[in-house]
Structure 1
Amino acid sequence: MLQQYQRIMVAVDGSSEAELAFKKAVNVAQRNDSELVLAHVIDTRAFQTVSSFDGMLAEQATEMAKQTLKDYEDYARKHQVTSIKTLIEYGSPKPIIAKQLPEEHQIDLIMIGATGLNAVERIFIGSVSEYVIRHAGCDVLVVRTDLHNQLPAKDAKSE
């Protein structure tokens, strides 16, 4: 029996890796006639280090996230995805993407971009992708390639 995903969540953060995951998620959602959930998590820990934090940074981050999600939603609609939900959350991205959102929205597939962290960075902070793979209660697809299953130009050169 062919697996049909009902709700596909893609975590987007404006990075090129997230863009690859988003475009593939649009294709999978279209083929499965699935709901596409676009999630952006604003990492509030970054604001805790700013001593003069007065709400402006969070407001700017929220406005940028809203515009990014609107652009992604427009792209998905142009590619015949009819059911789209956009979410902006605040907090630590790892547990929100891996557990909270999938449980709240009955997600059965998470699509996420591979990170560009090097080995030393992963040791100290860990990647969101790695955390999601280990802790999510649903299928996770880590996207590394474009729509033609080719590595992006910068990655292809480094190998």
Structure 2
Amino acid sequence: MLSYKNILVAVDGSKEAEWAFKKSIDIAKRNNATLNLANIIDTRSFAAIEAYDRSIADRAQSFADELLGNYKKEAEAAGVTKVNVIVEYGSPKTMIARELSTKVTADLIICGATGLSTVERFLIGSVSGHIVRAAKCDVLVVRTEEKE
């Protein structure tokens, strides 16, 4: 039987990422796996603005710390015993699929599908789409909320 030992969950504060996180709890419990919760602060999104306002990076770091801290508490309360939090800076596309998945020896990456328009997908591409194409392990892209 296939089982997962190191699960990487990419979260960004979106509802789809929250759905991915919720589903990851059950998968981690079933497999007695380590849950690695990651938030990548996309430096490209505030690089130009940061020259004028240095607090942007600080606010992004605070948001990531709070988001991951709350998710870690929720996962532990649900019975997941091994939970790590990771905050990194860079491009979410490459960091998740290549660097972080290797760093944590992920055998499963879970992420939420993004709500990009057709034009946005064409111009920048979706993070989840890139992860699916570039990852060296299984990928679960969550599009639906878990029903009770």
State TM-score, norm by structure 2. 0.96
- How far apart are residue 148 of structure 1 and its match? 2.4
In structure 1, the residue matched to 2:52 is 52
The higher radius of gyration belongs to 1
Q: Given residue 91 of structure 1, which amino acid in structure 2 is its aligned partner?
A: G
Counterpart-to-counterpart distance in 2, 1:75 and 1:87:
16
Equivalences, count: 147
- How far apart are residue 90 of structure 1 and its match? 0.1
Equivalent residues in 2 for 1:109-148, closer than 5 Å: 109-148=108-147
- Is 2:63 the partner of 1:64? yes
Identity %: 47
- Asked if the contact 1:7/1:106 (under 8 Å) is kept, the reply is yes
- How far apart are residue 49 of structure 1 and its match? 1.9
Q: Given residue 82 of structure 1, which amino acid in structure 2 is its aligned partner?
A: T
Structure 2 regions of 5+ residues with no counterpart? none
Counterpart-to-counterpart distance in 2, 1:147 and 1:35:
21
Counterpart-to-counterpart distance in 2, 1:79 and 1:12:
18
Counterpart-to-counterpart distance in 2, 1:31 and 1:147:
16
- How far apart are residue 53 of structure 1 and its match? 3.5
State TM-score, norm by structure 1. 0.90
Q: Given residue 121 of structure 1, which amino acid in structure 2 is its aligned partner?
A: E
Counterpart-to-counterpart distance in 1, 2:53 and 2:124:
23
- How far apart are residue 23 of structure 1 and its match? 0.2
